[in-house]
Amino acid sequence: MPTTGHTSLRKPGTERQVPSLEDLPRPLYARAESLGAGSWTPTHRHDWVQFSYAISGVLGVHTPHGSFFAPPQWGVWIPAGLEHEVVTSTRAEMRSLYVRKEDCTWAENRCRVLEVTPLARELIKAFCQLPAEYHEGESAESRLVQVLLDQLATLPEVGFSLPLPRHARLLLLCAELVETPDQAVTLNDWAARLNMSEKTLTRLFQRETGLSFRGWRQRARLLSSLNALEEGVSVTSTALNCGYDSTSAFIAAFKGLFGKTPGELFRG
């Protein structure tokens, strides 16, 4: 658990230092990193927007409002001033863009997972080759930055997030389910532990997370499967470890959330 009071899925590993930047030297700043398995940042915030995307590996961003996951070729948009930590359970290649908030006023002030289109991917790759203090004004570098910012504004959002409740006792139960996704806990079990009726718990869960209990539990299980699949664990073993009795049911649910089967998402 982080010291700031929000639920974290971070495991022991290698701490990464947060860049000590007072300000960004230009409207857009790039950071490329090769991350070892189990790396994490301490909880922090900064005065600029961050967009981190995984070329390989799975990124996890944990905030007071929930957790956001980016498999390869997706990225997490983190608004300025939001407290967060970034973790990787497997080895990962990460590219981060830091954007001055006045240069992306079009962005919603919330954490989101975005799909990195082929064009945006190539633009990010090209921008990462530029020096931190690239030429401004009527330069080719400045035009590249503007095109990249325009592309970032149009990236489609996907639902790879796990919203967390603020209700203290419900939050503890959600954290327990995240840590042990294969447990066969039912809504009735939770209601009994919270000393309330199933109907009351259903309303509370929907109000606190925006999802039904069943929908939240399925999303938690599917998100927990990403790191195992990235590490090469078989689909059958991953399905069982995530609480699914049927591999076919797991694959169908996985494709429903991520738009691809496990084999398609992690091919190569």
Choose the final residue of a domain: 124, 158, 192. Answer: 158
Position 5 pLDDT exceeds 50: no
- Distance (Å, whole) CA 251 – CA 255: 6
Q: Is residue 59 part of a domain?
A: yes
- Distance (Å, whole) CA 67 – CA 178: 11
Provide CB contacts within 8 A for 22, sequence distance 6+.
none
CATH number, residue 153: 2.60.120.280
User: Whole domain around residue 116: which residue ranges?
Assistant: 14-158
pTM for the model stands at 0.84
Torsion of CA 179, 226, 230, 69, to 10 degrees: -100
Q: Is residue 24 part of a domain?
A: yes
Q: Is residue 2 part of a domain?
A: no
Please name the residue that has the structure tokens 């401004």: 136
Please name the residue that has the structure tokens 């974290």: 8
| Residue 219 and residue 145 in one domain | no
Q: Is residue 230 part of a domain?
A: yes
- Beta bridge mates, 70: 59
The token pair at 47 is 């005065």
To the nearest whole number, what is the mean pLDDT of the chain? 88
| Residue 148 and residue 225 in one domain | no
pLDDT in tens, 176-228: 888 888 888 888 998 998 899 999 999 999 999 999 999 999 999 999 999 89
| Residue 169 and residue 143 in one domain | no
Q: Which helix (H) or strand (E) holds 94?
A: strand 92-100
Mean pLDDT of 253-264: 93
Provide CB contacts within 8 A for 262, sequence distance 6+.
225, 229, 235, 238, 251, 254
Q: Which pLDDT band holds residue 21 (cuts at 50, 70, 90)?
A: confident
- Distance (Å, whole) CA 266 – CA 226: 9
| Residue 131 and residue 253 in one domain | no
